Each structure stands twice: as C-alpha cells, then as structure tokens.
C-alpha cells in the first residue's frame, strides 16, 4: 500500500524481466503480476477461469 500511495508509475520485474509497467492501479490488476507474485491458482480465480 505504501508504494501505491507514493508512486505515480511503477515497473514490475519477475525473474529479471519486466512484466508490467503503468500506474499502481494498473499493475496491481495485471494478471501477469498476480500470477508471478500470488501464483497461477489465485490468478485463475481472479480471472474467472478456475475453481
């Protein structure tokens, strides 16, 4: 929440590669970011594609 409240734009890296860039709101909703940091199961639930 601190980053979201302070930053206007953020870049998210996973395993040394950029996976998302934009406002904090955009990147926290990005399915690639969710999958990288919370796992595929959580990403599928949020996108409506899983149990």
Give a three-class secondary structure readout of 1-51.
CHHHHHCCCEEEEECCEEEEEECHHHHHCCHHHHHHHHCHHHHHHHHCCCC
- Domains of the chain, residue spans: 2-47
**Predicted structure pTM score:** 0.74
Residue-wise pLDDT for 1-51, tens only, equals 777 788 999 999 999 999 999 999 999 899 999 999 888 888 888 777 665
Secondary structure of residue 17 in the 3-state scheme: strand
| Per-residue pLDDT at 11 | 96
């Amino acid at each position: 929440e601190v980053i979201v409240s302070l930053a206007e734009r953020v870049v998210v890296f996973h395993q040394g590669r950029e996976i998302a860039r934009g406002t904090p709101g955009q990147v926290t909703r990005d399915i690639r970011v969710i999958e990288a940091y919370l796992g595929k199961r959580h990403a599928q639930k949020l996108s409506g594609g899983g149990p």
